[in-house]
Amino acid sequence: MKTKTETNRFVVFLFVCYAFVVLAITLYPTGHIFLPDFSGSRIQTSFVPFLKFKEALTTIQTTGLPGGAQDSLRQVLKYIVTIAYGFIANVVMFVPLGIFLPLLSRKMDGLFKVTSVGFAVSLMIELSQIGVMMLFFASKRVFDIDDLIANTMGAAAGYIFYAFFHAVLRPVKRLAQA
């Protein structure tokens, strides 16, 4: 049976590995090293929430569905799928943070605290991407408010997942010790 210290060391080790992967994904200057590269997708800094989704839907509305516009409609739909994939990937990427924070610190005992830290970490990453973009002019790293929203949602979802399983497993652990 593992001691509490061994378990804590293992959790810290997993957190360090997770942090390394997140930094590699978000700051690597030529784009995602672990995720597919959607060549041809527009990459731009965005300070307006969900602007890319709005632009894609506006393009669909103006293009319509005439027979000659099917290729451009396919491109727009591919762009929407790319945007949705990126948004979901950002949510999923921060779920572990919402789980690790309460495991690593007793002070991270609430949804607001974990979500706030998730927001702060995401903001630091997004601001760092501006620096990476300036250092490597050809970089695909840009500030995107949608990433900030998705990452924060992921941290919150991770904490909710943690809190649920913590509440379910606590009585089971007490029964096992009795």
Burial, 69: exposed, middle or buried (Cβ in 10 Å; 0-12, 13-18, 19+)?
A: middle
Burial, 171: exposed, middle or buried (Cβ in 10 Å; 0-12, 13-18, 19+)?
A: exposed
pLDDT at 135: 75
Please write the tens of the pLDDT for every residue from 4-59: 787 799 999 999 999 999 998 888 766 544 444 444 444 567 778 888 878 777 77
**CA distance linking residue 3 with residue 126, whole number of Å:** 38
Please write the tens of the pLDDT for every residue from 121-162: 999 999 988 887 777 665 567 788 999 999 999 999 999 999
- The CB density around residue 71, as the number of other CB atoms within 10 Å, is 8
pTM: 0.80
